[in-house]
Amino acid sequence: MNGQCDRQILFIVFALVIIGLLAVYSSTSVITPELAEKQNGKAVQFFFLKKQLYALFLGVLLLLLLSRVNLRILKICALPVLVISLIVLLLVFTSLGISVKGATRWINLTLFSFQPSELVKLAMILFLAWYMSREAFKKDNFIYFIIPIGIMGIFQVIFLMQPDFGASISLAILTISMLLLGGVRLRFIGGVSFIALIAFTALLISEPYRLRRVTAFIDPWEDPLRSGFQLIQSYIALGSGGLTGVGIGESKQKLAFLPEVHTDFIFSLIGEEAGFFGASIVIILFCLLFYRGILIASKMKDPFAYYIACGTVLMITIQAIINFSVVTGLAPTKGLPLPFVSYGGSSLLISMMAIGLLINVSRYQESNALSQAEKIIDDKTLVNRVNHAKNIRNWQRGLGYTRCKAILCDQELFKKTL
């Protein structure tokens, strides 16, 4: 495939990455006791920025690799990648697992830690793209619908065992969205959604901390020093920024007031330091990324390429919407970072890989259009040669000018149908 990539997507992504690097440095430039405790006292001023840069370097390499891999190879690897992601996810329950604040979501890979739930999302996109692009897939058959739902359910159970409620929600939305794009019956999705709602309610009741998060989201001032503390501090950060912000690096909420300011709540810091205008730029960049991704998908004739483009852009957009909603108090607090912006190597790596797949599809789009044009030209040339040979034979048989004129008229009608 020799087509050119969509450069606008690359510009949008690297604009978000640069904003993220500035925000990560600003949020960790002052090493609070909380940050030092997380890194066992090893954190220094540029510690988090360096780790983010390492992840970015590796992410760019993976982006370039996946942007060049033939889509046929990706289709073959879709099912093995899903199995590998399941095995890696189960490693969190082994000696490699890392527990933070009662949640075991990471595995220790010596040089860095990795969050397998991020890989699961990308693996699910590849699997669904392969599954729904097969000729055997029947969108009106309940059995073909329940198979990916069952696979998603297996991952959901493991997520809740960690526990990782945010990853569970985002994977469910991503899977259902892709199945809707695949044209499955709405009554199938409605039935599963009703069962999921019952299960969701049961999970809230079973775990007090989840119920507290929901009540804090509804009224954070009911418990301002515990369950509602983080959201209230996020409100203060966003409100302090005003229209133009307090200035880059001048945030007050990062001084141990707003928990997880460099990860899940980094958008609050951007709103405080860059104000409404700066926060709006971030939102606009994600909107443009969604638009470009859907535009690429809409031009795809190959179902596998279409579902990959839709899946990757949906994965990033869904996570961004959830993060914006949590930070602004429109949804309960969940542990989901803002793609390309929040500190976190796993999220950055997988997001860059997703963009690599999207770039791959955009290149496939142009080369596919070129090959189709070449095919049309070849077909027309072949038809003209055949017709020319027929005309010569007709003259030789003495059919005369009248017959040849009729043949030429038929030729013109045939060409108009091409």
Cα four-point dihedral sign 130, 131, 137, 139: negative
DSSP element (H, E) containing 106: strand 103-108
Contact 338, 109 (CB under 8 A): no
Q: Tokens standing for 80?
A: 């093995």
Task: Of 19, 47, 28, give the one whose Cα is nearest residue 251.
Answer: 28
* CA–CA distance, 321 with 114 (Å, rounded to integer): 23
The whole-number pLDDT of residue 222 equals 85
Rounded Cα distance, 352 and 323, in Å: 18
Whether a cis peptide bond, with omega within 30° of 0, leads into 337 is no
Give residue 3's pLDDT: 61
For tokens 């460099």, name the residue: 262
Q: How far apart are CA 375 and CA 219, in angstroms?
A: 63
- Asked if residues 105 and 162 have their Cβ atoms less than 8 Å apart, the reply is yes
User: Which residue ranges make up each domain of the chain?
Assistant: 7-364, 373-416
Q: In this structure, what is the dihedral angle of CA atoms 190, 196, 197, 200, given to the nearest 10 degrees? A: -170
- Residues 153-190: b if buried by 16+ CB within 10 A, e if exposed: bebbebbbebbbbbbbbbbbbbbbbbbebbebeeebbe
Q: Which residues of 402-414 are buried (b: 16+ CB within 10 A; e: fewer)?
A: eeeeeeeeebeee
In angstroms, the CA 48 to CA 351 distance is 19
Q: In whole angstroms, what is the distance from residue 29 CA to residue 254 CA? A: 9
Q: What's the pTM value of the predicted model, to 2 decimals?
A: 0.83
User: For position 110, what pLDDT does the model report?
Assistant: 78
Walk across the sheet containing 113-114 and list its strands. 97-100, 103-108, 113-114
3-state SS of the chain: helix, strand, coil percent to 5?
A: 70, 5, 25
pLDDT in tens, the chain (418 residues): 556 778 899 999 999 999 999 999 999 887 666 666 666 656 667 888 999 999 999 999 999 999 999 999 999 999 999 999 999 999 999 988 888 777 888 998 877 889 999 999 999 999 999 999 998 888 889 999 999 999 999 999 999 888 888 898 899 999 999 999 998 988 999 888 888 888 888 877 777 776 777 777 788 888 888 888 999 999 999 999 999 999 998 999 988 889 889 999 999 999 999 999 999 999 999 999 999 999 999 988 899 999 999 999 999 999 999 999 999 998 888 778 999 999 999 999 999 999 999 999 998 754 444 444 444 444 454 455 545 555 545 544 544 444 445 544 555 544 444 4
State the burial class of residue 91 (Cβ atoms within 10 Å of its Cβ: 0-12, 13-18, 19+). middle
- In the prediction, which pLDDT does 364 show? 73
144's tokens: 């073909």
